[in-house]
Amino acid sequence: MAKGLIIALAQTNPHVGHLAHNLAMIDQRYHAAAQQKVDLVVFSELVICGYPPDDLVLNPAFVAACRQGVEQLAAITRGQSTGMIVGAPWMDHDRLYNAALLLADGEVQATYYKQELPNYGVFDEKRLFSPGQQAEPIMFRGHRLGLMICEDMWYPTVGHELAQQGAELLICINGSPFEEDKLTERLHMSKAQTMSNDLALIYVNQVGGQDELVFDGRSFVMTMMGEQQVTLAPWAEDLVLTHWRTQPGSKNAVSTHGKLVCNDPPRLIDKAETLTDFYQALVLGLRDYAHKNGFDKGVLIGLSGGIDSALTAAIAVDALGRAAVHGVFMPSPYTAQQSYDDVADLVKTLGIQLDTISISPAIRTFANMLDGIFSRDGDDFSGQGDVTEENIQSRVRGMLLMAMSNKYGRLVLSTGNKSEMSVGYATLYGDMCGGYALLKDLYKTTVYELARWRNNHYLRHFQGPAGMVISDAILQRAPTAELRPNQTDQDKLPPYDQLDAILRGLIEQSSSVDQLVAGTGMQSGQPRPLVQKVRRWLDLAEYKRRQAPPGVKLTSKAFGRDRRYPITNGWEG
């Protein structure tokens, strides 16, 4: 009987497409573990190329470069007592697979091809990869290890096949992105695997931001009794050594090897809390989006004195540092003194740079340019006008921000939230301008909750100040776009708590109008005319959302990869 194993869980932050970076990162973690006499280092799904690679893997040259990278890594194991498991796209007999590869003794010793290819939500693997057809344990240092890849764990077939063929331990490599309540689902499915197969499980996930997706890490070891024994850090890279011994005897009559059980004392460091996770996801998502896309000069934010731009600025400072955050205040004739005061207070608290640019001259110029044309229809652009004139103000601000972005190389962060994006309460080419929409998947009510959370919580990796960063004046003020005198959001929209309840039903729960009126899944029903109006707004705004910047996915149905409704859509059910 083999003596047991020391297995390192390597939770890393790969950069999609940047093979040189990823190979160097893997090399560094491998040697750090090898120095500690580790037998095996386990990395995450498709770590060679980063996850998700999307259509990069349809490029033969890219896939060939990934294979060359794997062979380079295999070579460094020659003469070493330490092996590694990595994920990579792998071509085999003219078929492309999502593969887990065992590298040891200078070569690729074993391969496993992912069988369950996800094709829902943000996942699109069936158009990229062929499914594997069989699962059997791989031999390593006298032990039979059962490899799985991410979605394989969510179904019983692969784990059962491995257990029936005498696997002593399940090892699942993952690219599992964060969303609300996702950790609970992972643990539930892992428990089902371990208890039904009477095998312990190693679960290794990646961490970091990739476009809309953010990966929270939270790798773990689960016992054959379905209990977490070891957890890795949330929202950070981590490398943890686990010690495994052979336990004789098994419910599985096929196995003659016994089972591998983890000898380590409990290491439970994570407790999922929604607001904490949301804030950390936004910080990590912005940091990686800016750095991985070369926006090292920082970000630009249009500050209005409202809650959305204030929270965006606070997150940006925590993610990138105050020197990297540049605020721009663009008052109009309708801007209240409170907005001036609240912006000044926010900028002082966060310690960021601010430029103030009045848009009044631009408004007058557009009035002179368009007055003759608009007056033909009985309108007078020199007066208050209608939504057209309101949108011109917003678009002037967007143009100024994009001009400063061009001049200084800073990334513009748009500040709209999910409530506004849902119903189209946003100006295309105006306040929707930007390269990254940080609050895109946060409902307005959650924006307030998250701002209060930040005022009362401070984590050691935040780069902003501790304590209250968003003033009571901002938190208590009625939301307003300030595009006309005495304007508030509730002039056009229902109260946000009511609006958000309807939107969650329509978007996350896919509820019908009848269900929302009846109160199905809600504390109480909503008026039919209001539900019908909100559903119509949601449909009409699809063309705007299709042109919006990417933003961090937090919920189960984020706009973008998750929700793909047609713009031309006559359905009214």
Give the separation between CA 573 and CA 571, rounded to whole angstroms: 6
List the one residue out of 348, 342, 337, 343 whose CA is nearest residue 301: 343
Active site residues: 45, 114, 150
169-174 vs 143-149, strand pairing mode: parallel
Cα-based distances in Å from 312 to 23, 301, 459? 34, 8, 17
**Residue in the structure block whose two tokens are 């449909």:** 539
Residue corresponding to tokens 């371990």: 194
pTM, two decimal places: 0.93
pLDDT at 523: 62
Instruction: Identify whether the C-beta of residue 237 lies closer than 8 Å to the C-beta of residue 218.
Output: no
Determine the Cα–Cα distance for residues 549 and 233; give it in Å rounded to an integer: 30
Of all helices (H) and strands (E), which one includes residue 67? helix 60-76
Residue 2 has a pLDDT of 65
> Rounded to whole angstroms, what are the CA distances from 63 to 13, 74, 83, 106, 334?
20, 17, 23, 21, 56
Domains of the chain: 5-271 (3.60.110.10), 275-486 (3.40.50.620)
Helix, strand, coil tally for the chain in percent (to 5): 40, 20, 40
Q: Give the span between the Cα atoms of 137 and 158, in whole angstroms.
A: 11
Q: How far apart are the first and last CA of the chain?
A: 64
Parts of the chain with a pLDDT under 70: 1-2, 249-257, 270-271, 377-384, 482, 521-523, 573
In the prediction, which pLDDT does 257 show? 58
Question: DSSP E strands: which ranges in 17-94?
Answer: 40-42, 83-92
